[in-house]
Amino acid sequence: MIRTFALALALLAPGSFCWAQATPPPFAVVADPAPGAKHPARLEQVRYPTGGVAVPARLFVAAGEGVHPTVLLLHGLPGTELNLDLARAMQRAGWNVMAIHYRGVWGSPGQFSLTHTVEDARAALAWLRDPVNAAKYGIDASRLVVLGHSMGGFDTVMLGDDRKVAGFVLVSAADFGGWAPGLETAKGRAEGVAAFADDMSYTNQTPDQIADEMLANGRAWAFGASGAKLAGRPVLIVDSDDGNKPGSDAAAEAIIAGGGPAPARVHFPTDHSFNDHRIALAAAIVNWLQATFP
């Protein structure tokens, strides 16, 4: 996965890791609620329009009458880890969750690119805000939170200029712009292209094309600059030992420099997919959502 490239290019930021111990898992993470009689939880198959095509998504609708706060869940590259356990935990906690695919990946129509993933995420937000969809699925469009893992974390940062988003969660976010300088030498480009080869085989973009895209947009995308767009809203940043922490640090520093508030930070000593910390990850996210958006 792209963590390989992060480990190859990232330099350790000044200071020590931000270690954090997860609070006890909330009920929604470890236990099923009583079934909703009149308005049960459900899972819907939906498609949202983007770039002239309709891309599939999963909509986890929370139990209960009325509208619910809603999370847009953005997976990484290429989407092996979908984080659907997080979606279920948030659904049990009373949140709707829209988990999307992007164009050109896992059989979705259209052309994949990093630029298109950002456009697709914006299109998904527009779908959630559509009055017809909001009424049909009980979506509170005033309380939309974007949560992204890895490449989805990159997309989440890029959505910071959407002032109507209520909050953001970055999980091992991929700082593609921050990595771009590592591609400027022949050796660095060859290593980067090789690191992307397997992931890109699940998309219809080539490793060379993604490298070109990163080089063309690196300055604008780098979290040290783009992270400031998240300022003014609550942000949770979760990182691990996968090499992506420098990007998390850059985003946090940019948010503070942009006026804050300082993001909540959690670090887990685990890998890029949090394989042995899934309950702890879900607990950290659900606890933060419940505390931040009671």
Quick: pLDDT tens for 252-292.
999 999 999 999 999 999 999 999 999 999 999 999 999 99
- 215 in any annotated domain: yes
Domain count of the chain? Answer: 1
User: What is the distance between the alpha carbons of residues 101 and 98, in angstroms, rounded to a whole number?
Assistant: 10
Do the beta carbons of residue 196 and residue 5 sit within 8 Å? yes
Q: How many helices (H) and strands (E) does the chain have?
A: 12, 8
- 21 in any annotated domain: no
Tell me if residue 50 falls in helix, strand or coil. Answer: strand
- 113 in any annotated domain: yes
- 120 in any annotated domain: yes
Range of 203's domain? 3-7+45-262+273-292
Q: What are phi and psi of 203, to 5 degrees?
A: -120, 180
Residue 23 banded pLDDT, cuts 50, 70, 90: low
- 23 in any annotated domain: no
Tell me if residue 21 falls in helix, strand or coil. Answer: coil
Tell me if residue 181 falls in helix, strand or coil. Answer: helix
- 17 in any annotated domain: no
User: What is the distance between the alpha carbons of residues 19 and 270, in angstroms, rounded to a whole number?
Assistant: 12
Closest CA to 271 of 184, 171, 201: 171
Residue where the block lists tokens 């129509």: 109
User: What is the distance between the alpha carbons of residues 272 and 10, in angstroms, rounded to a whole number?
Assistant: 14
- 33 in any annotated domain: no
Q: Which residues of 202-218 are buried (b: 16+ CB within 10 A; e: fewer)?
A: ebbbebebbbebbbebb
User: What is the distance between the alpha carbons of residues 293 and 23, in angstroms, rounded to a whole number?
Assistant: 17
Tell me the two tokens of residue 146.
Answer: 């974007």
Q: Edge-to-edge strands of the sheet including 96-100?
A: 42-50, 53-61, 96-100, 68-74, 139-149, 167-171, 235-239, 264-267
Closest CA to 33 of 63, 55, 56: 63
User: What is the distance between the alpha carbons of residues 180 and 238, in angstroms, rounded to a whole number?
Assistant: 22
Quick: pLDDT tens for 52-105.
999 999 999 999 999 999 999 999 999 999 999 999 999 999 999 999 999 999
Q: What CATH code is carried by the domain that includes residue 143?
A: 3.40.50.1820
Do the beta carbons of residue 147 and residue 73 sit within 8 Å? yes
- 28 in any annotated domain: no
Residue 111 banded pLDDT, cuts 50, 70, 90: very high
Quick: pLDDT tens for 143-190.
999 999 999 999 999 999 999 999 999 999 999 999 999 999 999 999
